Amino acid sequence: MPVSARNICRSFGDNQVLFDVDLDLQAGEVHALLGENGAGKSTLVKILAGYLRPTSGEVLCDGSPQDYRSSGDAEADGVVMIHQELALAEQLSVEENIFLGRELRRGPFLDRRAMRERSQAALAELETHVDPRARVKDLSTSDQQMVEIAKAITRDVRVLIMDEPTATLTENEVTVLFALIARLRQRGVAILYISHKLREIEQIADRVTVLRDGHLIDSGPMAGRSKEELARLMVGREITEMYPPLTVLSSDAPVVLEARAFVVPGAVKQASFTLRRGEVLGFGGVVGAGRTALIEAVLGLRAKSAGQVLRSGQPVVLRHLRDAVHQRIAYLTEDRKGKGLVLNMDLRSNVTLLNLRAHCHPLLDRRREEKAFQEAVQRFDIRLRTAALTAAELSGGNQQKLLLAKVMSIDPDIVIINEPTRGIDVGTKHQIYHFIHELTEAGRSVILISSEMGELIGLSHRVAVMCAGVLTGIIEGEQINEHNIMQYASGIKGVGVDEQRHA
Amino acid sequence: MPSIKTAVATITATAALTSAIGFSGAAMAQELTIGVSIPAATHGWAGGVNYHAEEAKKRLEALYPDIEITISTAGTAGEQANDLEDLVSLRSIDALVILPFESGPLTDPVRRVKESGVFVTVVDRGLTEEGIQDLYVAGNNHELGRVSGEYIREQLDGEGDIVVLRGIPTVIDDERVQGFQEAIEGSEINILDMQHANWNRDDGFEVMQDYLSRFDNIDAVWAQDDDIALGVIEAVRQADREDELFIVGGAGMKEIIKRVMEGDELVPVDVLYPPGMIATAMDLTVQHFVSNGPVLGEYILGSPLITEENAEQYYFPDSPF
Amino acid sequence: MSSAMLNNKTTQNTAAQNTVARPKGFSIDLKTWGPFIALVVLAILGVLINPAFLGLDNLSNMLTRSAFIGIIAIGATFVITAGGLDLSVGAMAAFIAGVMIILMNSLVEQFGAGITTIVLGIGASLLLGLCAGFINGIVTTKGKIEAFIVTLGTMGIYRSLVTYLADGGTLTLDWAVRDIYRPVYYGSFMGITFPVWVFFAVAVIGYILLNYTRFGRYCFAIGSNEKVAEYSAIHVDRVKTLTYMLQGVCVALATIIYVPRLGSASGATGVLWELEAIAAVIIGGTMLKGGHGRIWGTVIGAIMLTMIGNILNLTDAISNYLNGTVQGIIIIVAVYLQRASWRKTRP
**Residue of C213, C214, C232 to mutate, interface with A, max A Cβ within 10 Å:** C232
State the SS3 of A166-189: CCCCCHHHHHHHHHHHHHHHHCCC
Could C169 and B213 be called an inter-chain contact, meaning their C-beta atoms sit closer than 8 Å? no
Pairing, β B188-196 against β A207-212 = unpaired
Q: Give the H or E element holding residue A159.
A: strand A159-163
Label residue C14 by pLDDT band (50, 70, 90).
very low
- Same domain for A435 and A303: yes
Measured between beta carbons, the chain C residues lying within 8 angstroms of A377 are: 18
Nearest CA in chain A to C11: A381
Pairing, β A105-106 against β A109-110 = antiparallel
CATH classification at residue A226? 3.40.50.300
Q: Is residue A335 part of a domain?
A: no
**Residue of C1, C3, C5 to mutate, interface with A, max A Cβ within 10 Å:** C5
The per-residue pLDDT for C206 is 96
The per-residue pLDDT for A428 is 81
Label residue C209 by pLDDT band (50, 70, 90).
very high
- Same domain for A278 and A141: no
Q: Is residue A283 part of a domain?
A: yes
Cα–Cα dist C222/C234, whole Å? 9
The per-residue pLDDT for C287 is 86
Which CATH topology does B141-271 take? Rossmann fold (3.40.50)
- Same domain for A322 and A378: no
B230 touches chain C (CB under 8 A): yes
Cα–Cα dist B314/B7, whole Å? 11
Coil vs helix vs strand at B14: helix
CATH superfamily of this structure's domain B2-139+274-290: Response regulator (3.40.50.2300)
pLDDT 10s digit of each residue in chain B, 321 long?
344 444 444 444 444 444 444 444 444 446 888 999 998 876 778 888 888 898 899 999 898 888 889 898 888 888 888 888 888 888 888 899 998 887 778 888 888 888 888 999 998 887 877 788 888 888 888 889 999 999 999 999 989 999 999 988 877 888 899 999 999 998 999 999 999 898 888 899 999 999 998 899 999 999 999 989 999 999 999 899 989 999 999 888 888 899 999 988 899 999 988 888 899 899 989 988 888 778 888 888 888 889 888 888 888 887 777
Coil vs helix vs strand at A387: coil
What sections of chain C are H helices per DSSP? 15-18, 30-49, 56-81, 89-111, 115-142, 147-165, 175-181, 183-186, 194-212, 214-224, 226-230, 236-262, 273-283, 295-313, 323-339
First to last CA, chain A: 53
- Identify any residues that bridge with A207 across adjacent strands, giving them in sequence order: A31, A221
Coil vs helix vs strand at B69: strand
Could B44 and C264 be called an inter-chain contact, meaning their C-beta atoms sit closer than 8 Å? no
Cα–Cα dist B52/B44, whole Å? 12
Cα–Cα dist B203/B182, whole Å? 26
- Same domain for A497 and A359: no
Nearest CA in chain A to C22: A387
CB atoms within 10 A of CB A246: 16
pLDDT at C20 over 50: no
Cα–Cα dist C83/C85, whole Å? 7
Nearest CA in chain C to B240: C186
Identify the CA nearest to C314 among candidates C40, C38, C47, C39.
C47
B238 touches chain C (CB under 8 A): yes
B234 touches chain C (CB under 8 A): yes
Using DSSP, how many helices (H) and how many strands (E) does chain A show?
17, 22
Using DSSP, how many helices (H) and how many strands (E) does chain B show?
10, 12
Task: Please name the member of C6, C20, C233 whose beta carbon is closest to the beta carbon of A384.
Answer: C20
Measured between beta carbons, the chain B residues lying within 8 angstroms of C309 are: 206
C:141-200 residues touching chain A, CB 8 A cutoff:
none
The per-residue pLDDT for A388 is 62
Provide CB contacts within 8 A for B318, sequence distance 6+.
none
Could C262 and B200 be called an inter-chain contact, meaning their C-beta atoms sit closer than 8 Å? no
The per-residue pLDDT for A395 is 75
Is residue A421 within 8 A of residue A399, CB to CB? The reply is: no
Measured between beta carbons, the chain A residues lying within 8 angstroms of C346 are: 12-13
> Is pTM beyond 0.95 here?
no
Is residue A205 within 8 A of residue A222, CB to CB? The reply is: yes
Nearest CA in chain B to C50: B214
The mean predicted confidence, pLDDT, of chain C is 85
Q: What is the ipTM of this complex?
A: 0.77
Residues of C with CB under 8 A from a CB of B: 50, 52, 55, 57-58, 61, 65, 163, 166-170, 172, 186, 261-262, 264, 266-269, 309-310, 312-314, 316, 320-321, 323
Mean local confidence (pLDDT), C211-239: 92
Task: Please name the member of A340, A362, A380 whose beta carbon is closest to the beta carbon of C5.
Answer: A380
Tens digit of each residue's pLDDT (9 = 90 or more) over A342-380 = 988 888 899 999 988 888 888 888 888 889 998 988 888
A/C interface, count of CB pairs below 8 Å: 122
Radius of gyration of chain B (CA): 20
Neighbours of chain B (3+ CB pairs under 8 A): C
CA distance B187 to chain C (A): 22
Measured between beta carbons, the chain C residues lying within 8 angstroms of B166 are: 320
Cα–Cα dist A24/A17, whole Å? 19
Separation in Å, CA A167 to CA A84, A153, A174? 8, 20, 10
Nearest CA in chain B to C319: B195
DSSP string, A445-479: EEEEE-S-HHHHHHH-SEEEEEETTEEEEEEEGGG
Nearest CA in chain C to B50: C168
Contact B/C (≥3 CB pairs under 8 Å)? yes
Measured between beta carbons, the chain B residues lying within 8 angstroms of C267 are: 41-43, 47
Q: Is residue A247 part of a domain?
A: no
The per-residue pLDDT for A496 is 58
Q: Which of A176, A202, A235 is the last residue of a domain?
A: A235
The mean predicted confidence, pLDDT, of chain A is 84
Separation in Å, CA B123 to CA B56, B138, B278? 15, 5, 7
Pairing, β A280-284 against β B270-271 = unpaired
- Same domain for A391 and A418: no
Tens digit of each residue's pLDDT (9 = 90 or more) over A104-163 = 888 888 888 888 888 888 888 777 788 888 888 888 777 787 788 788 878 778 888 888
Are B2-139+274-290 and B141-271 the same fold in CATH?
yes
The per-residue pLDDT for B19 is 44
Identify the CA nearest to C93 among candidates C220, C232, C301, C274.
C274
Q: Which of A407, A436, A460 is the last residue of a domain?
A: A407
DSSP string, C65-134: HHHHHHHHHHHHHHHHHTT-----HHHHHHHHHHHHHHHHHHHHHHH-SSHHHHHHHHHHHHHHHHHHHH
Coil vs helix vs strand at A164: coil
Strand ranges in B47-141 using DSSP code E only, listed in sequence order: 67-74, 95-98, 119-123, 135-138
Separation in Å, CA A270 to CA A265, A290, A463, A470, B188? 10, 10, 17, 5, 95
The per-residue pLDDT for C37 is 84
Identify the CA nearest to A202 among candidates A398, A454, A440.
A454
Separation in Å, CA C302 to CA A503, B211, C36, C77? 63, 22, 12, 12
Measured between beta carbons, the chain B residues lying within 8 angstroms of C163 are: 40-42, 47
Separation in Å, CA C156 to CA B61, B79, C137, C267? 31, 16, 17, 11
CATH classification at residue C170? 1.10.3470
Is residue C80 within 8 A of residue C293, CB to CB? The reply is: yes
- Same domain for A418 and A301: yes
Q: Is residue C278 part of a domain?
A: yes
Range of the domain at A486: 255-328+412-502
Pick C178 or B43 by higher pLDDT. Answer: C178
Mean local confidence (pLDDT), A277-294: 88
Measured between beta carbons, the chain C residues lying within 8 angstroms of A379 are: 4-5
Nearest CA in chain A to C4: A379
Is residue A412 within 8 A of residue C38, CB to CB? The reply is: no
Task: Please name the member of B43, B48, B214 whose beta carbon is closest to the beta carbon of C50.
Answer: B214
- The DSSP letter of residue A503 is -
Q: Is residue C203 part of a domain?
A: yes
Task: Please name the member of C6, C17, C347 whose beta carbon is closest to the beta carbon of A434.
Answer: C6
User: What residue spans define the domains of chain B?
Assistant: 2-139+274-290, 141-271
The per-residue pLDDT for C3 is 41
- Same domain for A402 and A417: no
Task: Please name the member of C4, C228, C347 whose beta carbon is closest to the beta carbon of A379.
Answer: C4
Task: Please name the member of C3, C227, C346 whose beta carbon is closest to the beta carbon of A339.
Answer: C227
The per-residue pLDDT for A385 is 60
Could C1 and A438 be called an inter-chain contact, meaning their C-beta atoms sit closer than 8 Å? yes
Contact C/A (≥3 CB pairs under 8 Å)? yes
CA distance B239 to chain C (A): 9
Share of chain A above pLDDT 70, in %: 94
pLDDT at A10 over 60: yes
Cα–Cα dist A85/B74, whole Å? 52
Q: Is residue C170 part of a domain?
A: yes
Mean local confidence (pLDDT), C332-339: 79
Neighbours of chain A (3+ CB pairs under 8 A): C
The per-residue pLDDT for A181 is 86
Q: Is residue C16 part of a domain?
A: no
- CA angle in degrees (0–180, nearest 5) for A362-A365-A370: 155
Could C309 and B206 be called an inter-chain contact, meaning their C-beta atoms sit closer than 8 Å? yes
Report the range out of A476-485, B11-20, C38-47 with the highest average pLDDT: C38-47
Could C7 and A381 be called an inter-chain contact, meaning their C-beta atoms sit closer than 8 Å? yes
The per-residue pLDDT for C337 is 75
Cα–Cα dist A139/A90, whole Å? 9
Give residue A446's identity as a one-letter amino acid code.
V
Least confident of A479-488, B151-160, C23-32: C23-32
Mean local confidence (pLDDT), A422-432: 79
The per-residue pLDDT for C6 is 41
Helical axes B201-214 vs B226-239, angle rounded to 10°: 40
Task: Please name the member of C172, C314, C321 whose beta carbon is closest to the beta carbon of B255.
Answer: C172
Least confident of A43-47, A381-385, C36-40, C237-241: A381-385
Task: Please name the member of C58, C172, C321 whose beta carbon is closest to the beta carbon of B169.
Answer: C321
The count of structural domains within chain A is 3
Q: Which of A368, A387, A407 is the last residue of a domain?
A: A407
Provide CB contacts within 8 A for B152, sequence distance 6+.
B162, B184, B189, B220, B222, B248
Could A384 and C17 be called an inter-chain contact, meaning their C-beta atoms sit closer than 8 Å? yes
Provide CB contacts within 8 A for C190, sequence distance 6+.
none
The count of structural domains within chain C is 1
Pairing, β B95-98 against β B119-123 = parallel
Burial of A245 (0-12, 13-18, 19+ CB in 10 A): exposed
- Same domain for A51 and A14: yes
C347 touches chain A (CB under 8 A): yes
B48 touches chain C (CB under 8 A): yes
Label residue A240 by pLDDT band (50, 70, 90).
low
pLDDT at A176 over 90: no
Q: Is residue C347 part of a domain?
A: no
Label residue C13 by pLDDT band (50, 70, 90).
very low
In sign, the C-alpha dihedral spanning C89, C90, C92, C93 is: positive
pLDDT at A468 over 50: yes
Is residue A68 within 8 A of residue A59, CB to CB? The reply is: yes
**Residue of B55, B210, B254, B256 to mutate, interface with C, max C Cβ within 10 Å:** B210
Could C1 and A427 be called an inter-chain contact, meaning their C-beta atoms sit closer than 8 Å? no
- Same domain for A231 and A83: yes
Nearest CA in chain C to B47: C168
CA distance C207 to chain A (A): 12
- Same domain for A10 and A116: yes
In sign, the C-alpha dihedral spanning B42, B48, B49, B52 is: positive
First to last CA, chain C: 45
Share of chain C above pLDDT 70, in %: 88
- Same domain for A203 and A101: yes
Cα–Cα dist A211/A488, whole Å? 39
Provide CB contacts within 8 A for B139, sequence distance 6+.
B124, B273, B274, B277, B300, B301, B303
Range of the domain at C281: 28-336
The per-residue pLDDT for B27 is 44
Report the range out of A39-43, A187-191, C84-88 with the highest average pLDDT: C84-88
Burial of C37 (0-12, 13-18, 19+ CB in 10 A): middle
The per-residue pLDDT for A229 is 81
Share of chain A above pLDDT 90, in %: 21
Q: Is residue C342 part of a domain?
A: no
